[in-house]
Amino acid sequence: MQYRTLGRTGVQVSTLALGAMNFGGIGDTTQDDATAIVDAALEAGINLIDTADMYSNGQSEQMVGKAIAGRRDDIVLATKATMPMGQERNHQGSSRRWLVTALDDSLRRLGVDHVDLYQIHRWDPRTGDEETLAALTDLQRAGKIRYFGSSTFPAYRIVQARWAAREHHLSPYVTEQPGYSVLQRGIETHVLPVTQEYGMGVLAWSPLASGWLSGAIRAGREISTNRSALMRQRFDLAVPANRARLDAVEQLVTVAEEAGLTLIQLALGFVTAHPGVTSAIIGPRTLDHLRSQLAAADTVLPGDVLDAIDAIVAPGVDLAPHEKFDTPPALLDASLRRRP
């Protein structure tokens, strides 16, 4: 396993991080499954575990907490907030009112007195940056979080938050967690240059592109998924973007085979090759999934392989731009781009 410094924090983290989104109902993963996965990941040298309050409505955090009991000090523990937790309108977002409550709830579920990294899961357009950063800074000073970061923020929001922290003398976000894979390279255009400029750590989620780069999805093979209707749409070959992804996958398989690698090794090696990326977050549902991904722990792609990938999916290109989660609100709500 390789290790890198998380931004400018001085904290050393593994280049593969264990994501716990599939723990619980989302991935149909039991506590015994989750504990076995955590055990194997830690034994392999992974020291960063990432979860969120909304994963299976808190169940993931509970499972992580039980799995790491007795070895908390050896783990860089990260979680996230802001996504809705229930039907109450104020049980979401990044207001001080909610973040204080959400963090206490997360700490209780995890069975710990602090987390190392607390992340704003999505930018909340209803809440000012100074409100959120002031709350996070106070929680940091209270010892409940060591550092805080953002997740899936557009580049301009990362810049705005940095300026707000400076103007109001608050601690800044020190990490960003964006979606990034061979098939979704859009963050290379704006987000990664910004995070590199500010010296932020970058934890890339979905490096296997929701399974497209797992090796299980191939031309002529039936695509099956036990996920939600939304996930099933992501594999519907009637969608042009999905046909483009499948074509890219077939070409990438050839590149991987010629390099003596699995597609998973190629995909994870690509993400961790970018100098702006600290870690790739893997999210296995089973031990077999974990083992196949751990095989990429020491993968270093040579220049000719990276060039071959660039020829298949150009730098900065998202093959499925409609699946981005950082779209400005005015593009989604007509009332925000028209005068009343």
What amino acid positions are annotated as catalytic residues? Answer: 55
183 contacts: CB under 8 Å, gap ≥ 6: 209, 212, 213, 245, 248, 249, 313, 318, 319, 320
Residue 69 contacts residue 112 (beta carbons within 8 Å): no
d(CA 140, CA 107) in angstroms, rounded, equals: 14
Virtual torsion, Cα 103, 286, 12, 117, nearest 10 deg: -10
Phi-psi region of 11 (alpha: psi -120 to 50; beta: other; left: phi over 0): beta
| Residue in the structure block whose two tokens are 């964006």 | 178
How many angstroms separate the first and last alpha carbons of the chain? 56
Closest by CA position to 277, among listed 164, 163, 182: 182
d(CA 234, CA 212) in angstroms, rounded, equals: 9
313 contacts: CB under 8 Å, gap ≥ 6: 182, 183, 185, 248, 319
Residue 187 contacts residue 202 (beta carbons within 8 Å): no
Residue 282 contacts residue 207 (beta carbons within 8 Å): yes
d(CA 202, CA 326) in angstroms, rounded, equals: 16
d(CA 52, CA 102) in angstroms, rounded, equals: 10
Phi-psi region of 89 (alpha: psi -120 to 50; beta: other; left: phi over 0): alpha
d(CA 152, CA 180) in angstroms, rounded, equals: 10
